[in-house]
Structure 1
Amino acid sequence: MRTLLHRLGHTSAAHPWRVLLGWVIALAVAAGVASAYGGQTQENWDVPGARAQQGVELLRRHGENAANADARVVVHRDQGVLTDASGRAALADLTARLGRMPHAASVSPPRLSADGDTALLSVEYDAPVTHRDLMGKGEPLVEAVEPTRDAGLQVELNGTMAEQSAEPMKGTGELIGIAAALLVLVLAFGSVVAAGLPIGAAVVGLVLGGFGTTLLAGAMDVSPSAPMIGTMVGLGVGIDYALLLVVRFAEHLREGVEVRHAAGLATATAGRSVVFAASTVLVSLLGLGLAGLPTYSAFGLVTAISVAAVALVSLTLVPALCRLGGRRILARAERRATRRPRRPGREPLTARWAQRVGRRPLPWALGAAVVMLALAAPVVDMRTWPSDMSVHAEGTTLREGYDLVADEFGPGANGAMLAVVDHAAVVSPRAAVAATVRALESDDRIAVVAPPVTSRDGELTLVSAEPVFGPADARVSDLVRDVRADLPAGVDLTGLTPMYEDISQMLADRLWVVIAFVVGMSFLLLTMMFRSVLVPLKAALMNLLSISAAYGVLTVVFQWGWGAQLLGLDHSTPVSSWMPILLFAILFGLSMDYEVFLLGRIREEYDGGADARAAVVRGLAATGRVISCAAAIMVAVFFGFATETDPVVKQLGLGMGVAVALDATVVRMVLVPATMSLLGDLNWWMPRWLDRVLPRIRHAEEPAAGQSDGRPAEPELVRV
C-alpha cells in the first residue's frame, strides 16, 4: 500500500496542473452523469417489521386514507366561543378551504372542546406524506388557514403535513464549521495557504459526494435529511484527512526535503492513515444498514459516499496543491529561515504532556476513566422515544397546536391509537368489533373510544381510541403491549402511539447488532494495520467509553433538562430513538479517525527503533497539534448543528460535539498515553497464528531525501 500511495502522491505533485484539470473534468462528468441518471431525494417512513406497520399496510390495501398524510387544524378563540354565528361561519369557511387543497380527501366536522372555545379539524389526504406532491410542501395548508387568522382567531397546525414542512434547516452548521476551520488553521499554522488548502479539498470532496448522492437517489429512496448528515461528517473528516497530509508535507519541508519528494513521502505515510481511517468510518456507516430501517440505510450510504469522496480528493488533489503551494505552506517566519534542517529546540507541549503522563500512568489512567465513567453514568437512566410535536420550542405552531389539543381535548388526543378489524381475518366481524370496543373501553388508561367506522369497501372496521396521557409518556409502552394482548386475533393496532412504541423497541433491539458488527469489523481492520490485538481492543473500549459519555450528556441535557434552555428548549424530553444507533455508527468511525492518526505515528516510531514509551511520546508530539485542530473544527461543526431548530438535529449536533471533544482530550491526551505506557511492548503483542493468517504490510526504510532523480525507493509489499 505504501508503495502505491507514494507513487500516487509523487505523480500528483509532479504534474499538479494535470491533476487539477483532471479533477475539473471529473467533476464535470460527475455532474453530467448525475443530471442524466440521478434522482430527487425521497422520504420513506415505512418501518418494515413493526407491528403497527401491518395495520398501515392493511389500510393501504383497502384504500383507506387513514394510512396517508394528515393535518390537524386547531382553532381557538380567547374571548367567547366558536358556537355562535360568527364562529360557525368561520369554521364552515375554513372547512371548505381545507377541502379544496390539493390531495385533500376529506375534512372532519369540527370537534368542539367542552367549553366551546376550541375546535379541532382533521384533514385526510389521498397520498402518503412522503409523496412528492406533499413532502415539504405545506404552503397550501398555510394559505388555507390564513383568512381565519386574519379574522382574529388563533389557528395552529399539527399532524404529519405540518410537521414535515415546518422549521427548515438554516445551514448554520456548515457555515460555522467552515469559518471555525479557517480561523483554527490560520492560528495554528500561521499560513493562509496551509489553512485554505484542507478546506478547499474538503469542499471539492463534498461536491463530488453530492453528485454521488444524486445518483444514489435515482436508484433508491434517499431521505432529504441524509445529505445534511453526509455534509456534517464529510466536512469534518475531509478537513481532517487533508490536514494530516499537509502537516506531514510541512514536516518534510522543514527537514529540507524537495517539494515533490515531500508530497510523495507525506502521501505514503499520512496517506496510509487516511486510507485506514476512512475504511473504519465506512465500516461504521455501513453498519447503519443493519438497523432495519430504509432511512438509516440511506443515511449510511450517503455519508459513506461523502467520506469516500473526500478521502479520494485528499490522496490525489492535496499532493498537487501542496506542490503548487510549496514553501508557502509554512509560516512566514519559517519560510524566511534557512532551508537546512532546524536545530532541535524545546519539545512540543504534547511531548512534554505525554512524558508527564508516562511517568505516572496509573493515576492518570484512573483519573481519566473516572471522569469518563461519571459522564457516562446517566446513560443507565436514558429513555429513548421518537420525538413528537411536544418537543418543539414554544411559539412554534406545532408546539402551540399540541398544547391546545392537550389542554382542551386531553393529552391522548395528540396520539390516538387505531384498532383495525380485518373482516377476512376473523370468524365473526361483528363479534370481533364488539370485543375490540370492550377491550378498549375496559382499560382505564384510555379516555375516549370513538364509535366504530366501516371502510368504504366494507372489509375493515376502524375503532379509534385516545389514551389519558400523551404519546411521549413513559406509560405508553405498557399500554400498547396490554391492549394488543387484549384485542381479538385478526385485529391490528396501529396509529401514532403504537408506531412510536414499535420504533423504539426495534431500534433498541437492533442497537446491539450494529454495535457487534461495527466493533468487530473495526477490530479486524485495526489488527491488520497495527499487527496487534491489544491496541485494537483498547481502541474499541475507549471509543465505546466516549460514545457512552455522549449518551450520558444527552440524557442530562434533554431528558433531565439540565441546560436545555440554552439550546432553545423549554422542557425536558426523552432522547430520540433515532440517536443511539445513528450516533454510535458515526462517532465510532470518527473516533477511529483520531486513533488511526495517533497510533499510526506511534507504530511508525516504534518500528523505527524507539522503545514503547518513547514511541508514544514522539507519536503524540507529532500528531497532537493536528488532532487538536481537527477536533476543534469538528466540534465547531457539530455544535453549529445544535443551533438548528429541529430538536432531533440539536441532539445529534450536541452528542457528536461532546463525543469528539472528549475523545480528542481525555481519551487521546490522557487515556491513550497512560495505558500504552502501562502496557509497554505488550501493546504490539499478537498471536503467531493470527499474524500468519492476516495479510501483512511490511514497511521498508524511507528513501533518502537527496536522491538525484527525486524519486524514492519503493517500499516492499509482502503478503504472508
Structure 2
Amino acid sequence: MSLLLARIARTLTTHWIRGLVGALVVLIALIGVSAAAGPAADDFSTPGTESQKALDLFTAHQKELAGAEATAVFYATKGRITDPENQAVVRAALDKVKALPLEKTVSDPFGEGARISEDGKLASADIRYTIDQADIKPENGRPLIEALDKDDGKNGVEISARGTMIDIGSEQELPVGELVGIGIAIILLWVLFRSKVAMLVTLLGALIGVIMGQMLLAALSKPLGLPSFAAFIATMLGLGAGIDYALLIVGRYREQVARGDSPRDAAAKSAATSGASVVAAGLIVMLAIAGLLVIGIPFIGKLGVGAAIAVGGVVLSALTVLMALIGAFKKWLTPKDPKMVEPSRAFERWGERITARPWLSIAGGVLIMLIFAFPVTQLRLGQPDDGNQPEGKLQRVAYDRLTAAFGAGSNGPFIIAVDTAGGAQAVQADLDKLQQAVAGTRGVGQAAPATPSQDGEMATIFAIPTSAPQDVATSELLDRLRDETIPQATQGTALADKVFVGGAVPTFEDLSDKVASRLPIFILTVIGLSVLLLIMAFRSLWIPLVSAAFNLLSVLAAYGVVVAVFQMGIGAGLVGSDSDVPIVSFIPVMLFAILFGLSMDYNVFLLSRVHEAYNEGDGPRESVIHGMARIGKVILFAGLIMAAVFLAFVTQPDVIGKMMGLGLGLAILIDVLFVRLVIAPAVVTLLGDKAWWLPGWLDRILPNVSLEGHLVEGLDKELTQEHDVPPPTNGHGGGTPERETTGTRD
C-alpha cells in the first residue's frame, strides 16, 4: 500500500494542474448527480417493537395517525379565546392552513371535542397529514410555519405551533458551529505551522474533502435511503477528521523537505508514511461507524453508513487533492527555519518523564478517566421534548402554553391502537372496559373513549399522561400500561394481544430498549474489526488489545461528560440547556462508533512513529521518547482542532446537536491529553519488546499493511534509482539511515 500511495503522490505533485482539474471535474460531476438524485425519505421504523405494530395499524386503517402532525396553539392576549374577534383570528389562520398543499385533517378548536383551557384563554387545533413522516421535506413544513407564525398577539391572539411538521420545516439556522470551528482551526494551524501557506493548504484540502463527502452523500442518499440527519453528522465528522488527516500529511511533508528531500520525494514519503496512517485510521473510523448497522434499526444503521461515506471522502481527498495542492504550493511549503519541524524538545522531555515512571503515569491517567466516566452510572435514555427548545422559539412557546393549560403530558399523548378485525362494534364492551382501565391507571390524566376507524378494523384511545414526555414518570407509566393495565383489562377478551401503545414517547422508548439490547453485539463487532486491522498494521498482538481497552475508557468518559451536563445539570447553562434532560437513545451508540474510530486515529498516528523509531534501532523506551518527540505536538494540535470543531456545534439550538458536539469535543480532548500523551506511551514502555510481538502462525495468515512506508525497501529503491544514488541501508531492510540511539532526539 505504501508504494502505491507514494507513486500516486509523486504523480499528483508533479502534474498538479491535471490533478486539480481532475478533482474539479469530479466535484462538478458529483454536484450534478446529487442534484438529480434528490433527497431520500427518512426511515424511522423500529422493526419488531410494539410502537411499530401500532404504527402499522394506523398506516393500514387510519393514515392520518401514522403521518406527520402539528398542533396549532392559540392564546388570547386580550379577553377570552372564544370571543368573536379572537375566534375570527383563529379561523383565518386555520383557513390558511387548510388551503396549503398536502392532504390533511384540521380539527375545529371551537367544535365538538374542542380543547379549550379552563380559563378560556387557550385553544388548540390538531393538524394531521396523511403523508408519512419519512417523506416530509423542509419545503412541506415552511408554508405551515408561515401560516401560523405571523401573529405575535398584537391582534389579540398569540399563535404558536409544535409537532413533526414544524420541526422539519423550521428555517435552517446559519452554520454558526461550522464557522466557529473553522475559525479556531485556522488559528491553531497558524500556531502549529507558523506558515500561512501550510495553514491554507491544510484547511483547503480538508474542506474540499468535506465538500466531496457531502456531494457523495447527497448522490447516494436516495439509492441507499440515507436519513437527512446524516448530513449533520457527516459535516461534523468530516471537518474534524479531514483537518487532522491533512495536518498529518502536510506536517510530514514539511519535515521531509527540511531534511533535504526534493518536493516530489518528500510528497512520496509523506504519502507512504502519514498517508498510510491516514488510510488505516480512516478505515477504522469507517468500520466503527458502519458497525451501527448491526443495531438493527434502519435509521441508526444508515446514519453510520452516511458518516462512513463522509470519512471516506476526506481520506480520498487527503491522498489525492491534498497532494495536488502540495505540488501547486511546494515553493512556499518549505519551512524557512528547519528547526520549526524538528522533533519537539518539550515532548521529548515529556516522553522521558512518562516512561521513567510508567506505572504511576498509567494509574494517574486511569484515575482521571474514571472520574470523568463516573456519572455514566446515572445514564437514562429517552427523548428530550420541546421544553428544551430555546425560549421564544415557536415550538417552545406552544409547549409552555399547552403545559400551563392542560398539563405537561398533553405534549406527548399515548396513542393506543386496538386491532378490532371483524368490526369494532362487536367488541364495544371490551373497548369500554379497556378505556376505563387506562383512564384509572396511576399517571394517566385522562383517556378519551375508543374511536373506531372508518373501516371498523381498528380503534384508537388517546391517553394523556400527567407528566412531561421526557420525565421518568412517563416511562414508568408506559411500562405500567403495557405490563399490567392492558394485559389485565383484555385477559379473556377478544382484544387479548391486540392492543399496542404507540405515539412519539413509546416509539422512542422502544428505540432505546432495542438499542440497549443490541449494544453488546455492536461493541464486540466494532472492537473485533478494529483490533484485527491494527494487528495487520502494526504486526503486534498486545498493542491493539491494550488500545481497544483504553479506547473503551475514553468512550465511557464521553458518556460521563454528557450525563453530567445534560442529566445532572453540571454546567448545563453554559451550553444553553436545561438539566434533567434524558440522553437521546441513539447518542450513546453514535458516540461509541465515532469516538472509538477517532481515538484509533490518534493511536495510529502515535504508534506508527514509535514503531518507526523501534524499527530504526531504538530500544523500547527510546522509541517511545523519539516517537513522542516527532509526533506529540502534531497529535496535540490535531486533537485541539478536532475538539474545537466538535465543541463549536454546541451553539446549535437543538439539544441533540449540543449532546453530540459536547460529547465528541470533550471526549477527544480527554483522549488526547490523558490516553495518547500519558497512558499509551507508558503502556508501550512497560510492554517492551513484547509490544511488537505477533505469534508466527498469526503473522503468516494476516496480510501485511505497512505504516512505515519509508522503511519499505522498494520505495527508497525507486526514489534513489531516479537520481542514480545507491540506496542507503541500516541493517533493517530499509532505506533510511540508522538514527543514533542515545535516548535524545535526532
TM bucket by the smaller chain? Answer: over 0.9
Give the 3 Å change call, closer, same or farther, for CA 201–707 of structure 1 in structure 2.
same
Equivalence for 2:411: 414
Do the aligned partners of 2:136 and 2:168 also contact (CA within 8 Å) in 1?
no
Equivalence for 2:430: 432
Aligned residue pairs, count = 709
Distance 2:644 2:138 in 1: 34
Within the candidate set 453, 456, 468, 1:455 is matched to 453
Q: CA deviation at 1:109?
A: 3.0
Say whether residues 1:13 and 2:26 are aligned partners: no
Do the aligned partners of 1:416 and 1:465 also contact (CA within 8 Å) in 2?
yes
Say whether residues 1:196 and 2:193 are aligned partners: no
SS in 2 for 1:475: helix
Unaligned stretches of 5+ in structure 2?
110-114, 491-495, 735-746
Give the 3 Å change call, closer, same or farther, for CA 87–3 of structure 1 in structure 2.
closer
Deviates more, 1:528-537 or 1:309-318: 309-318
Distance 2:281 2:477 in 1: 46
Equivalence for 2:63: 64
Equivalence for 2:720: 707
Q: CA deviation at 1:344?
A: 12
Equivalence for 2:670: 662
Give the 3 Å change call, closer, same or farther, for CA 344–571 of structure 1 in structure 2.
closer
Equivalence for 1:642: 650
Distance 1:285 1:706 in 2: 37
Give the 3 Å change call, closer, same or farther, for CA 706–465 of structure 1 in structure 2.
closer
Give the 3 Å change call, closer, same or farther, for CA 272–322 of structure 1 in structure 2.
same
Unaligned stretches of 5+ in structure 1?
335-341
Q: CA deviation at 1:193?
A: 1.4
Equivalence for 1:357: 354
Where does 1:159-558 land on structure 2 (aligned, <5 Å)? 159-166=163-170, 168-334=172-338, 348-424=345-421, 428-485=426-483, 486-487=485-486, 488=490, 489=496, 490-558=498-566
Q: CA deviation at 1:709?
A: 1.8
Q: CA deviation at 1:315?
A: 1.5
Distance 1:97 1:15 in 2: 60
Q: CA deviation at 1:508?
A: 2.0
Q: CA deviation at 1:705?
A: 10
Amino acid at match of 1:647: V
Deviations 1:472-494 (Å, cap 9, x if unpaired)?
11122332122123323212211
SS in 1 for 2:704: coil
Deviations 1:226-249 (Å, cap 9, x if unpaired)?
112112111221121122111111
Distance 1:344 1:80 in 2: 74
Q: CA deviation at 1:665?
A: 0.9
After the TM superposition, list the runs of 4 or more consecutive aligned residues in structure 1 that deviate by more than 4 angstroms: 132-136, 342-347, 425-428, 711-717
Do the aligned partners of 2:141 and 2:170 also contact (CA within 8 Å) in 1?
no
Q: CA deviation at 1:607?
A: 1.4
Distance 1:523 1:695 in 2: 14
Deviations 1:446-492 (Å, cap 9, x if unpaired)?
11011221212222211111111111111223321221233232122
Do the aligned partners of 2:565 and 2:579 also contact (CA within 8 Å) in 1?
no
Do the aligned partners of 2:345 and 2:629 also contact (CA within 8 Å) in 1?
yes
RMSD value, Cα: 2.6
Give the 3 Å change call, closer, same or farther, for CA 27–710 of structure 1 in structure 2.
farther
Equivalence for 1:53: 52
Equivalence for 1:339: none
Give the 3 Å change call, closer, same or farther, for CA 461–697 of structure 1 in structure 2.
closer
Give the 3 Å change call, closer, same or farther, for CA 315–133 of structure 1 in structure 2.
closer
Amino acid at match of 2:4: L
SS in 2 for 1:40: coil
Distance 1:93 1:4 in 2: 68
Give the 3 Å change call, closer, same or farther, for CA 558–346 of structure 1 in structure 2.
closer
Give the 3 Å change call, closer, same or farther, for CA 576–72 of structure 1 in structure 2.
same
Give the 3 Å change call, closer, same or farther, for CA 588–347 of structure 1 in structure 2.
closer
Deviates more, 1:438-447 or 1:608-617: 438-447
Distance 2:15 2:442 in 1: 77
Deviates more, 1:263-272 or 1:154-163: 154-163
Q: CA deviation at 1:82?
A: 2.3
Say whether residues 1:115 and 2:128 are aligned partners: no
Equivalence for 2:27: 27
Distance 2:75 2:631 in 1: 61
Amino acid at match of 1:683: A
Deviations 1:241-298 (Å, cap 9, x if unpaired)?
1221111111111111122111111111111111101110110111122222332233
Give the 3 Å change call, closer, same or farther, for CA 243–425 of structure 1 in structure 2.
farther
Give the 3 Å change call, closer, same or farther, for CA 716–5 of structure 1 in structure 2.
farther
Do the aligned partners of 1:476 and 1:501 also contact (CA within 8 Å) in 2?
no
Do the aligned partners of 1:191 and 1:330 also contact (CA within 8 Å) in 2?
no
Amino acid at match of 1:420: A
Do the aligned partners of 1:602 and 1:616 also contact (CA within 8 Å) in 2?
yes
Do the aligned partners of 2:151 and 2:157 also contact (CA within 8 Å) in 1?
no
Give the 3 Å change call, closer, same or farther, for CA 24–144 of structure 1 in structure 2.
closer
Amino acid at match of 2:188: V
Distance 1:371 1:344 in 2: 32
Give the 3 Å change call, closer, same or farther, for CA 65–251 of structure 1 in structure 2.
same
Give the 3 Å change call, closer, same or farther, for CA 324–426 of structure 1 in structure 2.
same
